[in-house]
Amino acid sequence: MNLLVILAIIAAWIGLRFLKANSLAWAAGIWVGLYVGLSYGINPPLPSSILSMFMAIITLALVTYLTAGNDRMKEMADTIVTFVVDKRYTGALIGVLIALPLLVSFKVYLNMTQAPEPPISGRTIHPVPPNTITVNGSPFNIVEGHNPYRELESSDPDAFALHLENGRRVYYQNCVFCHGDNMEGDGQFAHGLDPIPANFQDATTIAMLQESYLYWRVAKGGPGLPSESTPWLSAMPAWENFLTEEEMWDVIMFLYDYTGQRPRVSEEVH
Amino acid sequence: MKTNSTYSPARLLRLQRSLSPGGGLNLRRVIPFGALFLILCLVGAYFVFPAGAIPVQEAQDAANPDYREFPVIGSRTIVWVVAQLHLMFAAFVLAVPMFALIIEIIGYVTKDERYDHLAYEFVKLLSVSFSFTAALGAMLTFLLLILYPSLMQYMVKIFSWTFLPYVALFFLEAIFLYSYYYGWGKFSPKVHIGLGVMLNIVGTAIMFIADAWLTFMNTPNGITETGELVSLWGAVNNFIWMPINIHRIIANVAFGGSIAAAYGAYKYLGAKTAEDKAHYDWMGYVGNFVAISAFLPLPFAGYYLGKEIYAYSQSLGITLMGGTFSWLFIVQAILIGNLFLAANYYLWVSMERIDGAERFRKYIKYLLGAITISFIVWATPHSLVASVEEARAMGGSHHPILGVLGVMSAKNTAVNVLILTTYISFLLYRRGNKEATVPWAKMGMNIQLGIFVLVTLFVIFLGIYGYFVEASVRIGLSVPQVLSVLFAMISITFIDVLLFKNAKKTGEIRWGEIGNRAQYALFFIAITFAWTMGLMGYVRAGMRQHWHVYGVIEDTSVDAFTPTIGYAAIVVSITVFIFFVFIATVFWLTGLTNKEPWKPKEERNKSVEAAG
Amino acid sequence: MTNVLKIFVFVICVLAFYAYVGQMVPQKITYPPTSTDFVGDMTPLELAAAGEEIMSGKGTCLTCHTIGSPGDGLRFPDLGGIGGRAGAQIAGMSAVDYLAESLYDPNAFVVEGFLPGMPAVSNPPINLSDNEILAVIAHLQSLGSQPTVTLDTELQWQSEEGSAPSAPTVAPGEPLDGPGVFTNYACSTCHAIDDATRLVGPSLYDAGSRLSKAEIYEAVMDPDATIAEGYPGAAMAAMLNASGFYQNVSTEELKSLVDYLASKTGQ
């Protein structure tokens, strides 16, 4: 919700009220207000297909309202007839008659010049990992495995801090270019990638996952994604080829530490 | 053989669900084209299938079913269109006697001549429509026998014993229909009403038999895994036979009412005298009242039908409600939203001709607001069509806010609110020129208001509660929603009847002074009903996918694919157009009764001079 | 006449509008499924790839099931990671057998929290061949594990195509009449037919007045669907299986048997 936009619309409506606008002006005001509100007042913005459907329904409702009563119908018809017939408005009328076809052509032009877009396909954001993976030759069970260094957090804070420090080094040497200084997924290269790099500050990414899941993703990268999450052109490298297992765990712990998130603890097996 | 989507075989497509067409245009000039079209089809069929090529079913190997091609538009589409037309006419012919009879009984009980005349006027539309229905039915049968011989062979094998009663009932239908029509005013009222009752019973029985054929194709029953008949009754009484029967009876009445209202609208627009205008205004109102009253319970009949489809096969149910067809239900939501909007609009414009109804005008904007919001909620799809940029901004194809509206809980709530709102509009219309005089008037109205507010809150509460429970519980919530709405409508009506007994009249209903735009609203309602029927015909047949008889007889023809919704929309639009051309012909033919007798030209001129 | 013209134009406009609305939603043609060709020496991985096609296409699995988007309120089990779980669902049943059973006889074991409702994919309307089902199993295994099945894997549910047909107890070509079927398959061992005597199973001398034809048919073909009160279940299915009834009885014979039983109204 974008409160500012919504407040502005309400203010405009109150203004109409003070101006004692006639029904037609009211209808136009409501239409424009709702259009602006639906276009800019909601975050993330509505897809244009939905917006046009909503506006079509609203248009229909407003026409219904304007013509439901004889008085209002007459008021509206008079306004239009006056506009068309009265000499005073001839200039404006000509303006409208020229502007309407122009607007339509402009819309057609916009539609025709849209850049081609790839088809949209749904993809699984958090695919189900395999039960076991083999990292640099040693097997790791994702379901039951856990971060071997996490326990240091309580048993040996100093050693844990060293691991974090090492994780920081790894992150800023390797990950920062895509995932960004602030881990918001907005590194230098991020704009060239589709899908965009994960934003670790977002509460719906690493906070919802267990560390072993991250380990799988870091070690296997884009190439290791299962077929069900295709088409997935993730540019994430398979870091097992470049980092040691300890380095990967360190950087994972650093991600959680830096963002203030906690890994999801493994649930009881059903 | 095929069955497939969309078109259905055997008069099967006599479809299903909903509702009706409407307005009649008197396209005198176009009539010859309707006839021409029929003749062309027949001539075309004659040339395309020369006599030698239509031997009666040589025994065909069941494993190698055979099809013949219809030129240009293809076998499926021609059968689709003809079946749909047949269905619409049949729906009209079955529905008119139902409410004509009710109106006649009202006239008989109240001794009000007006009702008797009105009923007769509706019945006048029947005789031509009946012939059209039979002609279209014959055309459909021939087309099916020619184009889908092996499917028909199978259907005949399963249902052979149902054809004789069907034909016999058709004779009875003709006898009762014409005696009801020609015998108007010539029997004692009780005998005549008895004829009307028989007409309705026979008509309903005919529909039940035809429904058995088409529902069998969707949810075959009573057969072995290889398709051999085990129990004819099992085949007839398959899972969706009764739901479709019920759904169709209600929908037929809604459809027939809207067509009759369109007839009133058409006559109103052409009426010259104030008396005629008043009469046809009233006729349009009654037709529309019938249509909307039947329309309100229709969603509930739809739930029942859907439930039975799921009971037969979950995958059939999900094919129907999920996947590509889920978009069809968005289109349906738009149609039904339009129906509600137009029905309310008609009532609001009608209130302009009631002296005293001005005091309710201020409520219109709130009613309209409720309708618009419900309409928007109902038409919001679950997965959205979005460009890559938009999808990225939303983080997927589900919008965080709209996603909430796209689910069943929200939609059920929206539809119940729509029904309640329409009901309130009607209530306001009803008390437009009345003022309650009973001593407990104030309390009565407060009770009504209390019921209304409580039920609305309850419906909305259940809708929101539905988000917090499991799917199995959520599905069950629609029942209390529906029941509470029904309770509200029945209890409020009951109080209202007592409340306005001997009410003081504050003004007259000025029949005949309604705006022309209200008559166009009636046409709009009729067209939308007809279109909805066509669309739901597509999905009822389409959910069988590449099967003629689901899971038993596979469609191996070139038409085995399921066409797009866009293609279906065009076919439905054309079908509805042809239907309205036909119905305009019916209106015109019916109007001939009142035409001046023909005289040679000079004589006519003379009489004009004499009159002058 | 102008009125007629106006109405005519109005009708055309409304119809055009609805036709337009129909174009505004996603347009998709659904084609009938095509059968997949298999070559004899496909590796499990190749088979799994073919199985993926079948699952989204002919098998229509993904109409109901999701893969990898578990959540609350699902009406059907999510298949993500199924290959890893399959071996542990039923004690003593291997992953392949579990998956096969789920496909050939889905309601034999229903995952806790879900309702039965899946059709056997080997039957119409889905009608997958044995090879196609093997491919689906391979793909399911690949979700969370490694596929192991090949086209040579044999499953107990597979139809016995190719293997020598078991010897029929009657010469083919001469369908038995109802009493003939009754005698041939020794039904009278367990059921009295001429009086109300209780044997191992209920007497059938009044079957026609107790049961509809459809019910009789069901009682023969799926004896355990409904068991008459006070009688043991499972026995009849086992006996009929053992006597080769289900393999050998023809549709006509079955029909005449049902007719015969239905005619027994206890008179």
CATH assignment of the domain containing A138: 1.10.760
Task: Decide: helix, strand or coil at residue B549.
Answer: strand
CATH code of the domain in which C113 resides: 1.10.760.10
Task: Decide: helix, strand or coil at residue B602.
Answer: helix
Q: How high is the pLDDT of residue A254?
A: 92
Expressed as residue numbers, the domain containing A46 is 3-112
Kindly tell me the burial class for residue C134, based on how many C-beta atoms sit within 10 Å of its own C-beta (0-12, 13-18, 19 or more). buried
How far does Cα B209 stand from its chain's mean position?
Answer: 19
DSSP at C196: -
Instruction: Tell me which of C217 and A120 has the higher pLDDT.
Output: C217
Residues 6 or more apart in contact with residue A62 via CB below 8 angstroms: A27, A30, A31
Q: How high is the pLDDT of residue A61?
A: 94
pLDDT value at A20 more than 50: yes
Tell whether B516 is covered by a domain.
no
Amino acid at A256: Y
Q: How high is the pLDDT of residue C10?
A: 94
Dihedral angle over CA of C24, C29, C30, C32, nearest 10: 160
Expressed as residue numbers, the domain containing C235 is 178-262
Mean pLDDT for all residues in chain B: 83
Nearest residue on chain C to B270, judged by CA atoms? C3
**Domains held by chain B: number:** 2
Amino acid at B379: A
- pLDDT tens-place string over residues B192-221: 999 999 999 999 999 999 999 999 999 888
Expressed as residue numbers, the domain containing B496 is 354-509
Q: Return the minimum-mean-pLDDT range out of B50-64, B133-147, C192-206.
A: B50-64
Cβ-Cβ pairs closer than 8 A, A with B, add up to 82
Residue B154 near residue B553, CB atoms below 8 Å: yes
Q: How confident is the model at residue A201 (pLDDT cuts 50, 70, 90)?
A: confident
A146 and A101 co-located in one domain: no
Q: How high is the pLDDT of residue B1?
A: 42
Report, as an integer, the average pLDDT of A117-135. Answer: 65
* Beta strand ranges found along B96-230 (DSSP E): none
Q: How high is the pLDDT of residue B472?
A: 63
A18 and A47 co-located in one domain: yes
pLDDT value at C15 more than 80: yes
Q: What percent of chain B has a predicted confidence (pLDDT) above 90?
A: 41
- DSSP codes of every residue in C154-169: --TTS--TTSPPPPPS
3-state secondary structure B321-334: HCCCHHHHHHHHHH
Report, as an integer, the average pLDDT of B321-343. Answer: 87
pLDDT value at B43 more than 60: no
Task: Mark yes or no for CB contact C25/B527 under 8 Å.
Answer: no
Return residues 264-293 of B near C (CB < 8 Å). 266, 269-270
Task: Decide: helix, strand or coil at residue A140.
Answer: strand
Kindly tell me the burial class for residue C149, based on how many C-beta atoms sit within 10 Å of its own C-beta (0-12, 13-18, 19 or more). buried
Residue A252 near residue A215, CB atoms below 8 Å: yes
How many Cβ atoms from other residues are within 10 Å of residue B546's Cβ? Answer: 23
Task: Mark yes or no for CB contact C145/A131 under 8 Å.
Answer: yes
Instruction: Tell me which of A216 and B66 has the higher pLDDT.
Output: A216
- pLDDT tens-place string over residues B452-492: 999 999 999 988 888 777 666 776 787 888 889 989 999 99
Q: How confident is the model at residue B139 (pLDDT cuts 50, 70, 90)?
A: very high
- pLDDT tens-place string over residues C190-248: 788 877 777 777 888 888 888 888 888 878 877 777 777 777 666 777 777 766 777 67
Chains in contact with chain A (at least 3 beta-carbon pairs closer than 8 A): B, C
Q: How high is the pLDDT of residue B134?
A: 93
Q: How confident is the model at residue C167 (pLDDT cuts 50, 70, 90)?
A: very low
B105 and B187 co-located in one domain: yes
Q: How high is the pLDDT of residue C266?
A: 74
**Domains held by chain C: number:** 2
Which residue in this structure is represented by tokens 């053989």? B1
Spell out which residues of chain A touch residue B371, defining contact as CB-CB under 8 Å.
61
Tell whether A33 is covered by a domain.
yes
Of B192, B194, B190, the closest CA to residue B181 belongs to B192
Spell out which residues of chain B touch residue A42, defining contact as CB-CB under 8 Å.
401
Q: How high is the pLDDT of residue B50?
A: 41
Of A47, A36, A49, the closest CA to residue A8 belongs to A36
Report, as an integer, the average pLDDT of B394-423. Answer: 81
Tokens encoding C25? 């939603």
Task: Mark yes or no for CB contact A44/B394 under 8 Å.
Answer: yes
Q: What percent of chain B has a predicted confidence (pLDDT) above 70?
A: 85
B94 and B27 co-located in one domain: yes
B393 and B286 co-located in one domain: no
- pLDDT tens-place string over residues B233-274: 888 999 899 999 999 999 999 999 999 999 999 999 988 899
Which residue in this structure is represented by tokens 């909601």? A42
Mean pLDDT for all residues in chain A: 84
Q: How confident is the model at residue C186 (pLDDT cuts 50, 70, 90)?
A: confident
- pLDDT tens-place string over residues C240-262: 776 677 767 777 778 888 888 88
Q: How high is the pLDDT of residue B23?
A: 36
- pLDDT tens-place string over residues B305-328: 888 888 887 778 777 876 678 888
Task: Mark yes or no for CB contact A122/B394 under 8 Å.
Answer: no
pLDDT value at B370 more than 80: yes
Tell whether C219 is covered by a domain.
yes
Tell whether C13 is covered by a domain.
no
Touching check for A233 and chain B: CB below 8 Å? no
Of B465, B458, B504, the closest CA to residue B481 belongs to B458
Dihedral angle over CA of B446, B451, B457, B458, nearest 10: 160
Tell whether A118 is covered by a domain.
no
Spell out which residues of chain A touch residue C81, defining contact as CB-CB under 8 Å.
128-131
Task: Mark yes or no for CB contact B528/C214 under 8 Å.
Answer: no
- pLDDT tens-place string over residues A138-191: 888 877 778 888 888 888 888 999 999 999 999 999 999 999 888 888 888 887
Q: How high is the pLDDT of residue C79?
A: 84
Of B198, B177, B163, B172, the closest CA to residue B11 belongs to B163
Task: Mark yes or no for CB contact C80/A127 under 8 Å.
Answer: yes
Nearest residue on chain A to B362, judged by CA atoms? A69
Which of A83, A112, A141 terminates a domain? The answer is A112
Touching check for A57 and chain C: CB below 8 Å? no
Task: Mark yes or no for CB contact B224/C251 under 8 Å.
Answer: yes
Return residues 43-82 of B near C (CB < 8 Å). none
Q: Return the minimum-mean-pLDDT range out of B48-52, B225-229, B573-577, C152-156.
A: B48-52
Of B336, B352, B525, B516, the closest CA to residue B428 belongs to B352
Tell whether B349 is covered by a domain.
no
Report, as an integer, the average pLDDT of C136-161. Answer: 78
B580 and B504 co-located in one domain: no
